[in-house]
Amino acid sequence: MNTIGIIGAMPSELKDIRSMLGSEEIISKSGFDFHINYIGNRKIVNVCCGIAKVNAAVCCQVLIDNFCVDAIINTGIAGGMNNDVKVCDIVVSNEVLAHDLDLHFLDNYPPYCSIFKADSHLIECAVNTCKLLGMNSFVGRIVSGEAFISSNEVKNDILAKFNPYAVDMESSAIGHCAFLNKTPFVSVRCISDNADDDGAMSFDEFEKIAAKRVADIVMKMIESI
């Protein structure tokens, strides 16, 4: 692959990646700043999309339209949902979907799909990288919605309906956009909190640690894609 796109929602999720990549060219398109680096003959384009699904979808489309990426890695932090997943573990998406939408609207109308599958090769690269770095990882469903989940009641409702491994605010939109454009994608998320009543406190404590862990994974993944 010649061009890899990296999307993070918050500047903190890209800070370590940008530090490791070094000096860069910045191109602004449609309100987003795309940071361009090269590793050998491979172009790396990373961008901060902003929080929530609309920002993520618009940014992903601008990335695809303007930079002809061969693959997209969505990186960042997320709330843990599965009981086996602990803070600072890694969740690699096998599929993504919205948890705050009646999915039949996507199944019965365009795009006639509501669950968006991640690319098997990118999943394998992410899992192998986690093993190489000695990080505990899970492959599973990631769900997205327009709220930070920090309530046991809300968490249990999402678990009952969708049985995800992690919850965030962007992965499903990036997966949706990648599906429409036939672009391989994967979401790689480090767990910063348990999406429960203590979620806000846990997030503040572990955000920087989680962002650094997932940055190390993404940078190593680039070598093997």
89, 95, 193, 207: which is the annotated catalytic residue? Answer: 193
Angle, vertex CA 120, rays to CA 128 and CA 88, nearest 5: 45
- For 181, other C-beta atoms within 10 Å of its C-beta total 15
Instruction: Identify the CA nearest to 116 among candidates 143, 145, 90.
Output: 143
CA–CA distances in Å: residue 203 to residues 114, 146, 158: 29, 17, 19
13, 16, 119, 216: which is the annotated catalytic residue? Answer: 13
Active site residue 205: no
Beta strands 137-144 and 90-98, pairing class: parallel
45 neighbors 36 (Cβ within 8 angstroms): yes
Active site residue 193: yes
How many whole angstroms separate alpha carbon 12 and alpha carbon 212? 9
Per-residue buried b or exposed e for 85-103, using 16+ beta carbons within 10 Å of the residue's own CB:
bebbbbbbbbbbbbbeeee
Give the 3-state secondary structure of residue 206: helix
Residue 76, strand partner residues = 189
Enzyme catalytic residues? 13, 193
